Structure 1
Amino acid sequence: MASTLRVGVLTISDTASVDPASDTSGPALCKLLGTEPRYKVEVTACIPDDFKAIQKTVTAWCDDLDLNVVLTTGGTGFGVRDCTPEAVMPLLDRQTPGITHMIFAKSVQITPFAALSRAVTGIRGQTLVLTFPGSPKAVKENYEIVSKLLPHACDLASGGTGKKFHEKMQGGPRPSGVASPAVPDVKAGEQTAQGHEHGHGHGHGHGGHSCFHHSDREARSEPASLGLDTPVSRRLRKSPYPLIRMEQAMAAVMDQISPLPSVQVPVNESLIGAVLDEDVVAVEAVPGYRAAILDGYAVIDTDGPGQYPVTAVSIATAAAEGAATKLLPGQIARITTGGAVPEGATAVVMVEDTVLVKSSEDGTREEIVEIRAKVRNGEAIREIGSDVQIGQTVLKKGQVISAVGGEIGVLASIGVQKVTVRQRPVVGFLSTGNEVVNHDNGEKLKMGQIRDTNRPTLIAATKAAGIDYKDLGIAPDSPEALEKAVREGLDKCDIVVTTGGVSMGEMDLLKPILEQKLGATIHFGRIMMKPGKPTTFATIPNPNGGQPKLMFALPGNPVSATVTYYLFVIPALRKLAGYEKYSWPSIQAEITHDVRLDERPEYQRAIVSVTSEGRILAQSTDKNQMSSRMVTMLEANSLLVLPGRTEERPNVQSGQKIECLLIGKLG
């Protein structure tokens, strides 16, 4: 367990919610917590005595912020508006009657009026929730009663054994073979409840305190999911996976990726998308001979304008046959673009600056041509090595071979036949679900069936990105079938991408299969984002040694799957392939309409274009950006990066600048 306990302090009062300056209990509690370095107050708020507001805030702080402790003050008495116990009690997965009794027993020794307080304590997920009375004096007394046991209680609630605490109480570690005091055997799955994969309301900072923050969490090494044979009635109802920020999730992915080993490959069109793992040095000069830049006549510039005989030797033919040619003063020679300039020639005159004076009797040869233009020494001639010299570095390590063709053209021109590049990753796509059928099966849909749009969409995006892939088909919602399909995909691919089966449904089996059958480490299972909250990333040990295999379990909704694929998987594939710049390019664009912000940071599908005046504009593809509406991806070339809603900024107004990730070409 982390040495610092992350705490939220919630004041529940009709009066304080209207005038936060009148709140004395919340600040008093924060001051008490601030005297001990092990506590860190990450969020405070003042809300009215409102049942829904209390439930919304406590739920968000437990589920979304993953705090260690939530302390409320107020609303526990007999007043008509006092509803804190009624609001908090249904949220708790387990009550902690011992703590409640201790608070009551010691408080009533101080004042008999403590009997009028209806304190509630318990655990939601891995968060300890305590409800204190509303007066500063009672808050201080209640806090002092529980302060010493809070660290140990939080350790147990978050999956710890309390071993260090017991060792400290017993005077240090026990020798091997000596029994330790009994500690409750608490399994991770039994002390968490799995919540719905939908957004929760967020609290906001009040009274000068900062808004809530998420703490960095290490990947789980122990399974957090319940056994695959757990009946539905005993399934977790709150996710055991912390809800993390987007930047944390991206860092967790990239920390697990190193570029694949190098291979040597021939120079041809198969290089497109590959990343060079060596500097490329020219073994031949370009051009390898003095070459004409245009069609015309090779001349000696000092001869000047005038009529000259055309040498009978065809320069192109002579160069092809390796014949020696030399131009003498007073002679000119017909030459074509790219042709070898004969020895002795110092310039080339274009055809347009000449006139034919005399041809052979049969009209097949030029005999005398008049040069009408004065040319300079070296004009219209490419000297040997003027483009590339022998030994010159023409391509750098880390450079991507583009589909434009320039890199392949240069490699072909300098005599390099093979290059060393990073091995290209292979990504496999597996759709899951009993209801999912191939989109092209030619059959009419039966009740409850849906056509698989995810695999065709993601495969199309992968081909456009120049990445190799394998189609792994559709796996039904069966533990055995899913495990088999994932294992086969991991054998063939560096990354496996699944869609569906990661949320809270009865047949959402991927996370327990990853943890319990494949020995995977799940680095995250929920992200504070819209769409794509249940996106999951895991690493699986490679049976052949070397780098672990990577797996992204994406949501089943087609837009969620597509957006998270662009945000996470393509950058991961690029880094695996050796790209130094693997992230999507980002620009600031002027939004053309108002956007109501969501509580979670959102990635809306949009069209970014450049006007004739040079203004960069962004427009959402559709007002209704539901994650099931694939039409929102139509014509989209970017993702709007919208921040989460706050009281200070509930929306983005037309004309404001917003960050856009470019996933396609500008319109």
Structure 2
Amino acid sequence: MKTLEQITSCLNGYDPEALDADLARAAILDFVRPVDAVETVPLRAALGRILAADVTSPIDVPGHDNSAMDGYAFAGSALAARAADAPLQLLLGATLHAGDAPAALPAPDRCLRIMTGAVMPAGCDTVVPQEFCELADTPEGRVMRVSPELSKQLKPGDNRRLRGEDLAAGSRALAAGRRLRPADLGLLASLGIAQVAVQRKLRVAFFSTGDELTPVGEPLAPGAIYDSNGTTLGAMLARLGVEALDYGNVGDDPALLEAALRRAAGEADAVITSGGVSVGEADFTKQVMARIGEVAFWKMSIRPGRPMAFGRIWADDARAGAGAVMFGLPGNPVAVMVTFYCFVRDALLTLAGEAVKPLPRFKLPLAAPVKKKPGRTEFQRVRLVAGEDGVLRAHLTGAQGSGILRSMSEADGLIVLAQHQGSLAAGDLVDVLPFEALV
């Protein structure tokens, strides 16, 4: 396992005093490794869990050639046997429903009534939709007839689902690292799989730091503020499907901080703190973290969310076991959310064993000019509003200070302004990171 120092020493342009966001993200993802713990759960309890191993189909799906629609099954050779301008006309036999035992076509000049999903009869390879057909009684018996014009549209093999065309026995149905969705559970059920191996839920401990913080619901003393970060972090973690361990608030005391961190390192796979990492904080914060782990303190070239600590901490001085990955986030509420989604989210999903995909972005025009200086990546909060012309535009949600949590509550997403970009004009296209993508 690489140390944090080894990883950062290999980063081209590494500068802990002005670290590029992409370099920081690369270092974090290079450092974290999935937690090696698997459990088996019933299929109906697997929604949102992360698949621990590839699932191989034990059967062909579908298990037989079958009809793709309600209609009439026949041998495709009958299409070539008819005269060019003649209708397709076949004597009608029995009716087959989905679930009926397999049947056989009595003769090439006959057809069978067939319903969607019914097994194709032996000797049949084609189905004509019922809306193409008319029925008539003749001296030979009842016949199915298709007009010459419509007959010309038919080809052998039409409207037949082939055995195993969805999944062949022995093929991979789902890949390890996938977060299971409703359709995935339905797919597994269609294979007769009643239970599935999933990664153990990632355990994430989190707490806020600062003597000024008051737990929500308690009286607010003069000069104190309510701890909104704890609630925000808990909600963001809930959306990731991890097991969140809320340690509440920890005061500005080195002994309390060390005790909380050591406890978290013993109980959790990852630890997130908010506050206590910016310039001017008491020196004990760095000292405590360095004493119980390997932790780097970075100043990011981003806004909001410049200061951050990252590394690994252990529960005791022996540094036994893997310890816990640690993220020390800024104290301002908006900075907490931005750094969480920019750096922490993908790392937690990787730890949890998920095959992480980049968050989706799309380009939209700005509704008004935006001021920005080159040299740092900025995340600004926007509402997405359609104008009278039907075009969706990005509108800033007012003041963009890192302590204005209301600006996040009113926003539909973030615009991501690259480090090299300067000010932008109304109508310029920007990358938009929608909040509803952050799951």
Please classify the TM superposition score into its range, dividing by the shorter chain length.
0.7 to 0.9
Answering whether residue 90 of structure 2 is matched by residue 325 of structure 1, we say: no
Do 1:259 and 1:422's aligned partners in 2 also have CA atoms closer than 8 Å? Answer: no
* Inter-partner Cα distance in structure 2 for 1:416 and 1:636: 39
Find the residue that maps to 2:344 and give its secondary structure: helix
Q: For residues 138-168 of structure 1, what are the alpha-carbon distances to aligned partners after superposition, in whole Å with 9 as ceiling and x for unaligned?
A: xxxxxxxxxxxxxxxxxxxxxxxxxxxxxxx
Pair 1:654–1:310, CA change in 2 (3 A): same
Find the residue that maps to 2:32 and give its secondary structure: coil
* Inter-partner Cα distance in structure 2 for 1:532 and 1:455: 17
State the superposition RMSD in angstroms.
Answer: 4.0
Pair 1:285–1:644, CA change in 2 (3 A): closer
Cα shift at 1:563: 0.9
2:213 to 426, 436, 439: 436
Do 1:541 and 1:549's aligned partners in 2 also have CA atoms closer than 8 Å? Answer: yes
Answering whether residue 65 of structure 2 is matched by residue 286 of structure 1, we say: no
Cα shift at 1:369: 6.6
Counterpart for residue 424 of structure 2: 652
1:343 to 122, 138, 154: 122
* Inter-partner Cα distance in structure 1 for 2:159 and 2:18: 66
Counterpart for residue 255 of structure 1: 30
Cα shift at 1:258: 1.9
Name which of structure 1's ranges 593-602 and 250-259 shifts more when overlaid on structure 2: 593-602
Counterpart for residue 166 of structure 1: none
Answering whether residue 296 of structure 2 is matched by residue 523 of structure 1, we say: yes
Find the residue that maps to 1:431 and give its secondary structure: strand
Structure 2 length as normaliser, TM-score? Answer: 0.75
Residues 384-423 of structure 1: matches in 2 within 5 Å?
Answer: 384-396=163-175, 400-401=178-179, 403=181, 405-415=182-192
Cα shift at 1:514: 2.0
Cα shift at 1:637: 1.9
2:341 to 546, 566, 571: 566
Pair 1:352–1:425, CA change in 2 (3 A): same
Counterpart for residue 496 of structure 1: 271
Do 1:534 and 1:555's aligned partners in 2 also have CA atoms closer than 8 Å? Answer: yes
Answering whether residue 407 of structure 2 is matched by residue 635 of structure 1, we say: no
* Inter-partner Cα distance in structure 1 for 2:202 and 2:323: 13
Residues 181-330 of structure 1: matches in 2 within 5 Å?
Answer: 216=14, 242-261=17-36, 263=38, 265=40, 268=43, 271=46, 278-301=53-76, 302=78, 305-306=88-89, 308-311=91-94, 315-316=97-98, 318-319=100-101, 325-329=103-107
Greater share of strand: 2
Residues 595-606 of structure 1: matches in 2 within 5 Å?
Answer: 595-597=370-372, 601=376, 602-606=378-382
Do 2:201 and 2:241's aligned partners in 1 also have CA atoms closer than 8 Å? Answer: no
Cα shift at 1:561: 0.8
Answering whether residue 322 of structure 2 is matched by residue 547 of structure 1, we say: yes
Cα shift at 1:462: 3.0
Cα shift at 1:586: 5.0
Cα shift at 1:507: 7.1
Cα shift at 1:288: 0.5
- How many residues are aligned here? 406
* Inter-partner Cα distance in structure 2 for 1:587 and 1:315: 47
Do 1:500 and 1:508's aligned partners in 2 also have CA atoms closer than 8 Å? Answer: no
* Inter-partner Cα distance in structure 1 for 2:98 and 2:427: 62
Find the residue that maps to 1:596 and give its secondary structure: coil
Cα shift at 1:565: 0.8
Find the residue that maps to 2:72 and give its secondary structure: strand
* Inter-partner Cα distance in structure 1 for 2:239 and 2:419: 29
Counterpart for residue 83 of structure 2: none
Aligned amino acid, residue 380 of structure 2: Q
Aligned amino acid, residue 382 of structure 2: A
Name which of structure 1's ranges 422-431 and 266-275 shifts more when overlaid on structure 2: 266-275
* Inter-partner Cα distance in structure 1 for 2:390 and 2:37: 42
Find the residue that maps to 1:535 and give its secondary structure: strand
Aligned amino acid, residue 318 of structure 1: D
Do 1:522 and 1:536's aligned partners in 2 also have CA atoms closer than 8 Å? Answer: yes
Cα shift at 1:548: 3.5
Pair 1:471–1:255, CA change in 2 (3 A): same
Cα shift at 1:521: 1.9
